[in-house]
Amino acid sequence: MAINNTNTVSTLAGVDSTSSYIRLECKLLPNGKASIKYFLYKDKASYTAGNPPVNDAYDFNYNSYITDVLLPSDINIDNLHDLAIAELVSRGLDNAKLAKTDLV
């Protein structure tokens, strides 16, 4: 599960990045909520090559996110992507520049 991001986000070094690949790790919690972790990579090739995520290099909050309680019908890959994107939008990214990818 991942998101292609074409928002411009600055690194802590002051360099603007105009695209990135955000890999998602979703875990269902015993309380009916889900934990969504964001792992940011320069691009999909960096992820595929086994490079470590670069979350800490960016001046943006890529911390994990805990959803509200989910109904059983809401526990699917498509909806978890939507929740992950909505959270990134609430943190300041443009929804139109976030695209679901790798839906497996």
pLDDT of the residue at 63 = 93
pLDDT of the residue at 103 = 81
Domain range enclosing 94: 2-101
Tell me how many domains the chain contains.
1
Q: Are 38 and 22 in contact (CB under 8 A)?
A: yes
Question: pLDDT digit string (tens) for 21-42?
Answer: 999 999 999 999 999 999 999 9
pTM of the model: 0.92
DSSP 8-state symbol, 33: -
Q: Are 36 and 84 in contact (CB under 8 A)?
A: yes
Question: pLDDT digit string (tens) for 57-99?
Answer: 998 999 999 999 999 999 999 999 999 999 999 999 999 999 9
